[in-house]
Structure 1
Amino acid sequence: MLTSQQKTLIQQTIPVLKANGTVLTDYFYHRMLSQVPELRETFNMGHQRDGKQAKALANAVLAYAENIDDPSVLLPVITMICQKHVSLNIQAPDYSIVGEHLLHSISEVLSVPMEDELIGAWGAAYQELAALMIDTEKKIYAQLAKEQGGWSGWREFTIVKKVAETAKVSSLYLAPTDNLALPDYLPGQYISVRINVPSLGYKQPRQYSLSTAPNGQFFRITVKEEMLSQEPGYVSSTLHQQMQVGDLLEVSAPMGDFRVKDATKHNVLISAGIGITPMVAMLEGLTQKDNSTSLPAISFFMSHKMPHTMP
């Protein structure tokens, strides 16, 4: 348990985090990924390139410091982060690596010795948070492994069909290479896919919403070819330009809690751009619920810029 003195020390760093949090987290990522390069296959290097990941971590660290007296208010966010961690196959030992580099980064950026009580306070806080997240993720991994058709970690899939929806949007149909069962996921959930990116020379993962309701035979993702910092997206451009039917990729089990909460009620689905992808899965799921009686009314609004609905 954190002592009151340790909590006070963490709270005293809030002004520094507000003013220089992104500087700290950017330093942290560069430090860790240069010393542990294999983690580049876990972290989104596109977000490293545009700074989004450093900013997101800075906001998370700040939120934790601001709520150090009652971190329970952050539980919904922590749960969402844990789900994404599971989709990336992050394991307990990874937390030790992150913790080591985070504490050294605080020490080096703030010019505070590692022996200082401030570093000790942040170390204790990180251990508490890491223990909570490891325990949460352990339960998610166990649940995935016991579901019919479920699995934990990465599983090999084959691209069995590729459809160009527009010049910049393609649907990829993915079937498990082992021909075993698929889980009955919730429409609106996402999967992580991991592929080798030739321009980087190593693998990269990305999360994509499933764009069809569960069918027991394949997953479908519908991917827009993105431009980040005026450069092609590492994964989206590779999927569009280089990967074809018959190619293999790694896939994690469906994850996330963005879904229709009550299928018995009237549901309005509103989307824009490529945000249509989980909505299509939800719409299919709603229409499959009951084709005979009491089907809830469905309104479906789409931006005029949307591509046509996927087949």
Structure 2
Amino acid sequence: MLSEQSVPVVRATLPVVGAAIGDITQLFYRKLFDDRPELLRDFFNRGNQANGEQQQALAGSIAAFAGMLLERSDERPDAMLARIANKHASLGVTSGQYKLVHEHLFAAIAEVLGDAVTAEVAAAWDEVYWLMANALIAAESGLYKEAGAADGEVWRSMEIVERREQTPDVVSFLLRPADGSPAGAFRPGQYVSVQAELPDGARQIRQYSLSAAPGGSQWRITVKRARGAAGPQGEVSSWLHETARAGDLLTVSLPFGDLVLGEDEGPLLLASAGIGSTPMLAMLDHLAATGSDRRVIVVHADRSPADHAHREELRRLVDAHPSASLHLWYETGGDAGAAAGQADIGALDLPEGLTAYLCGPLPFMRSVRDELLRRGVPAAAVHYEVFGPDLWLGQE
């Protein structure tokens, strides 16, 4: 927690820092990439830099962390940062990189806020930064240890065993280690990073959920192509769709992610929209493979039946589960047993003790979460996964 001398300083300056945090994070990334251009080329997502989402996510995480230190001083904020730590681990972030971030972030703060950054203010916000950084470093170290890897050593070569077109915009890949070793275990709901060497020489990294149950000799990822995206947005998904074929090798990380299926026996809600169905498929597949009889309410929304990747597989998995029910919504196009329009869980029978897992576009997840909270589901029982920077951080 913050020291006694820093609390009043951070409380007094948080409105000023918060109002300027967008400018600070933009300047921070500019300074960072001017100093280390290879980080933009080979590490940070160029699409998220171009559309500003990474800057928004960093700003939101700093403001949310500082606010929690002030308002919930008796709580450890590590849980709030678990999603960031897992994403960092999937990229191979190491503790030394936090010093580089600190250097350029505080240079940006001083430049944007000018004379307002007194020695006292700088010391207080330095404390905020290192509390956040050290919490992440500790969490990431634990994740590496749990994965049996040295810090940052998460990458290996995997061969594409099979490529399968799921829809015109979605393709799945079966992967196995190129050295013949076992694919390895993971928890249903986790994702891996894929590093793509693009035509301009950049090595861009993106995360994809593992979309089938653990336990086999192979992993499966499912990739939606981002059509119509400008500039670098969608460049890795397009590269995979256009070039990746059976027999090719991909550089893939170990599995990470905090949206993982709990091991209790309580009822579940698995709610997804679009490509957000992928972690839910792994959860359902795992439940079927282990003979679970937990009650499972499956909700999925999509543009149309033709756009719904793994549609028949989802039906088969639900049918194979003795206590599962499926609720589908399509915006356009008819499908037996599906409703028209956007998902509406208001009329669903939600049992006591429900745990909910959400994945899909932010408006979808916010709508479902709001309805769950209105129906009395505790906030702690609602878990979510965001593809890309977490623009929801701090709004829970």
Fold in common (TM above 0.5): yes
Indicate the residue corresponding to 1:195 in structure 2.
Answer: 196
- Greater displacement, 55-64 / 300-309: 300-309
Q: 1:129 aligns with which of 132, 142, 147?
A: 132
The structural deviation recorded for 1:285 is 0.5
- SS of residue matched to 1:85: helix
Written as runs of structure 1 = structure 2, the 5 A alignment for 1:1-311 is 2-40=2-40, 41-69=42-70, 70=73, 72-112=75-115, 116-145=119-148, 152-199=153-200, 201-227=201-227, 230-231=230-231, 232-262=233-263, 264-290=265-291, 295-303=293-301, 305=304, 306-309=308-311
Change (3 A) 1:266 1:129: closer
Change (3 A) 1:72 1:202: farther
Distance between the aligned counterparts of 2:217 and 2:275, measured in 1? 24
Size of the aligned set, in residue pairs, is: 303
Distance between the aligned counterparts of 1:160 and 1:77, measured in 2? 37
Change (3 A) 1:259 1:310: farther
- SS of residue matched to 2:148: helix
- SS of residue matched to 1:208: strand
Q: Deviations over 1:266-310 (max 9, x none)?
A: 4343321111111111111011112xxx73444434335223437
Indicate the residue corresponding to 2:336 in structure 1.
Answer: none
Distance between the aligned counterparts of 1:7 and 1:228, measured in 2? 47
- Greater displacement, 102-111 / 71-80: 71-80
The structural deviation recorded for 1:185 is 1.2
TM-score by length of 2: 0.70
Contact 2:69 2:77 in 1 (8 A): no
The structural deviation recorded for 1:263 is 6.0
Contact 2:192 2:256 in 1 (8 A): yes
The structural deviation recorded for 1:106 is 0.4
The structural deviation recorded for 1:53 is 0.6
Question: What code does the residue aligned with 1:92 have?
Answer: S
The structural deviation recorded for 1:209 is 0.8
Contact 2:171 2:224 in 1 (8 A): yes
Contact 1:50 1:229 in 2 (8 A): no
Q: Deviations over 1:154-193 (max 9, x none)?
A: 1111222111111100001111111112222111111111
Q: Which runs of 5+ in 2 are unaligned?
A: 314-396
Q: Percentage identity across aligned positions?
A: 36
- SS of residue matched to 1:46: helix
Q: CA RMSD in A?
A: 2.4
- SS of residue matched to 1:256: coil
- SS of residue matched to 2:75: helix
Distance between the aligned counterparts of 1:87 and 1:3, measured in 2? 32
